[in-house]
Amino acid sequence: MDVYRINKEPYHREPLSTVGSHRHGGRWNPKGTGILYTSRTPELALLETLVHLPPLTFAELPQLWLSTLRFPDEADTIFWLDASKLPAYWKSGTLGETQTILTEWLQAPFCLAIAVPSVILEMSYNILLHPQHPSFAEVEVISQSPIPLDSRLRI
């Protein structure tokens, strides 16, 4: 399965790094536990990146890089989480609340990846990869390229 990740320059040089999520935490993981946030499509990866940037003018945007990553997609590699099975607060809750939803997987990864619905577009999925799962060693960086953003974008 191919997934996509966007990094700001110069962090694109290590597209499999979980340092940022380990240091800061995220919607699905607390500080101190690093996971790799990726998206099912390049477009969703861009939306997820832009929504998390501070307010900037177009000229202030950092150079963004798209990485295409590939991992084996056997039946036991990825677990798809349906939005209807998530607690009601998953979209609007505090990070402290949502960071506990995947506690079992974060502590003992029973699969390489969990697909979670995007808060931005619930019908689209982000794919979380666990670096402690043995199959993480099989994740490959297929390509990387700078993203030329259109100046009509409103940030």
Q: Is residue 57 part of a domain?
A: yes
pLDDT, residue 11, reads 80
Q: Is residue 62 part of a domain?
A: yes
Rounded-to-integer distance, Cα 41 and Cα 39, Å: 5
User: Encoding tokens for residue 106?
Assistant: 């974060």
Q: Is residue 75 part of a domain?
A: yes
Mean pLDDT of 47-56: 87
pLDDT, residue 33, reads 96
Task: Identify the weakest region by mean pLDDT among 57-71, 87-101, 102-116.
Answer: 87-101
Q: Is residue 155 part of a domain?
A: no
Q: Is residue 153 part of a domain?
A: no
pLDDT tier at 92, thresholds 50, 70, 90: confident
Mean pLDDT of 120-135: 96
Q: Is residue 152 part of a domain?
A: no
Q: Is residue 99 part of a domain?
A: yes
- Residue 59 pLDDT more than 90? no
- Residue 154 pLDDT more than 70? no
The total number of structural domains that make up the chain = 1
Q: Is residue 108 part of a domain?
A: yes
Rounded-to-integer distance, Cα 90 and Cα 31, Å: 18
Per the CB < 8 A criterion, the answer to whether 1 and 73 are in contact is yes
pLDDT, residue 105, reads 97
pTM: 0.93
pLDDT tens per residue, range 107-125:
999 999 999 999 999 999 9
> Over the range 12-22, which residues count as b (16 or more CB within 10 Å of their CB) and which as e?
beebebbeebb
- Host domain of residue 32: 2-146
